[in-house]
Chain A
Amino acid sequence: MKTAIAIWNNYVSSAFDFSAHILLVEFENDKEISRSQILLESRLPSQRVNQLKNLEVDFLICGAISRSLLEMITAAGIQVLAYITGKIDDVIEGYITGQLEQSQFSMPGCWPGARKGLGRCGQGRGRCRRQGNQKNSEL
């Protein structure tokens, strides 16, 4: 299970449309097994989506994101947990423990539907990855 987190200076990058790097984290059985920082090659939405697809990203955790880019990414089969803020290690811990819905990780001002991914991932340890596995097997 691969999760990409938009990153800037050890924090979640504030707007994915403008982010320059992602941290690609692999998880197995509720544990992080590897992480690597990857340069996002282009700000063009089409190329950004393609790069995520080529990296076989299952989930994207990011800050603010425009509706059109979010829709392109979800149409590509990648689940998006958007409007997340905080230090990377805290966010990863929150992700593993299913606590990203908490206010400490929430950015102010997001549109309805932007945090749909969180609604499914909000409760329970490891629920995100169980749901992600289920979604991938449906695809």
Chain B
Amino acid sequence: MENNEQNVILDSISEGVFTVDMDWRITSFNRAAEEISGIKRREAIGRHCRDVLRADVCETGCTLRQTMDTSKPIMNRAVHIIDAQGKKRAIAISTALLKNSSGKVIGGVETFRDMSTVEQLRKEIAGRYSCEDIISQSHKMQNIFAIMPNIAESNTTVLIEGESGTGKELFARAIHNMSFRKDKPFIAVNCGALPDSLLESELFGYKAGAFTDAKKDKPGRFALAQGGTIFLDEIGDVSASVQVKLLRVLQERIYEPVGGVSSVKADVRVITATNKKLDQLVQHEKFRDDLYYRINVMKLELPPLRDKKEDIPLLVEHFISRFNRLQNKNICCVTNEVTAALLAHDYPGNVRELENIIEHCFVLCEGEIIEVKHLPSTVRPILKTESPGNTEPSTIRQMEVVLITQALRRNKGNKTAAARELGIDKSTLFRKMKTFDIKHPSYAQ
């Protein structure tokens, strides 16, 4: 078979295939290898395979080297690589020796399959999120990311404040998964969803006979979280009696199950969350001040989506990718008009609302591109496509004007702060303001 025929065959398969010579330089690189790694064939050929594959085993246990040393092929070893988009991607690799017609070893061949879809689905099922899974380029979120390592490493109680749908549980899981408790349980409790009478027994468990129908002992969520992390969502909705018990757990690290006489030690890290302003609840005497000071040791304030609209395009791309995986569809993108409509919306429901909007579009979109007609009516009417004097953004330039204008307004005309928030250099902001004729005084409100 000629080389051209071989190349056509190799370029038609979905597995990445590349070959190396005895100096570990890449000698061939098929189309699927380009797609999975994100590196063009012309950039890969002649380079050391370590510089192209960038796998976690390259330095600790290179599979190709093992095959070259032992002459034994390796099949389906799971590894991670860093692709050209800066994503950590799971792949499964197989290796074999490359021999010439005389049987002499002239190099090696490696094939690999993209396993990122499987890994992402597995992560979603297990809830094993980390900082890498939180999509944001906003300056406010970068400040939060900067302190996440310190928070994760400590055993400190954390309070996460943020509107509904801002990702409080995602952050709590990320903190847990970055901490030394990551291999222990993460138990989430929605304190607002349970009536007071049930919440106490749910959190602390009960002993047999504690009440009617309590036929045997039941461990509570604190017991289930032993060694790990308990996430108490909507902590602001907790009754006074449960607040007292929570205070005792946080102060003395012990609690009693309902109907129990012995205390149980709690080795649990507590992360709480609320969409209310707890300090105001304390002022109105609806929340104990001593409990507030116990849980407010480290506070993370998650900004609402309307304050970080620069994240919307990234989030849209993320949700499209997610729903493509779940629904086995192949939607690639949204039109500029859809992006403009999404940027103009205010999102009282935050990121969760944006996710619902994209899911709605997925139901209606039968092609590969989401259009305005696929948007829910709550978002669609904002974009008046044909009315004269329409001021809604419909081009990339107009979207930039909207983002810059809003950033300047939020920062009261402070261009340094606005540039930092938008993630661009101050000189770039100045240039864009001049190009788009955005006047400073008008937006310094």
Contact = CB atoms under 8 A, between A and B. Distances in A.
A46 B86 contact: no
A45 B39 contact: no
A15 B55 contact: yes
A109 B39 contact: yes
Nearest to B174: A46
Interface string A115-138: 000000000000000000000000
A98 B435 CA distance: 33
Contacts of A14: 50-51, 53-54, 58-59
B87 A66 contact: yes
A20 interface: yes
A19 B59 contact: yes
Nearest to A108: B43
Nearest to A19: B59
A20 B149 contact: no
B85 A46 contact: no
Contact of B82 (A15, A47, A71, A85): A15
Contacts of B153: 46-47, 50
B168 to A, nearest CB: 19
B146 interface: yes
A66 B59 contact: no
23 contacts: A8-B59, A15-B55, A15-B58, A15-B81, A17-B82, A19-B59, A20-B60, A44-B178, A45-B131, A45-B178, A46-B131, A46-B150, A47-B149, A49-B149, A50-B153, A65-B86, A66-B82, A66-B132, A67-B86, A75-B145, A107-B54, A108-B52, A111-B85
Interface of B: 37-40, 43-44, 47-48, 50-56, 58-60, 80-88, 130-132, 137, 142-143, 145-146, 148-150, 152-153, 178
Q: Which 4 A-B pairs have the closest CB atoms?
A: A46-B149, A109-B39, A75-B146, A109-B84
Given A13-B59, A63-B51, A75-B146, 16 more contacts: A14-B53, A14-B59, A17-B80, A18-B59, A45-B131, A46-B149, A46-B153, A66-B86, A67-B87, A69-B132, A72-B145, A107-B54, A108-B51, A109-B40, A109-B43, A109-B83
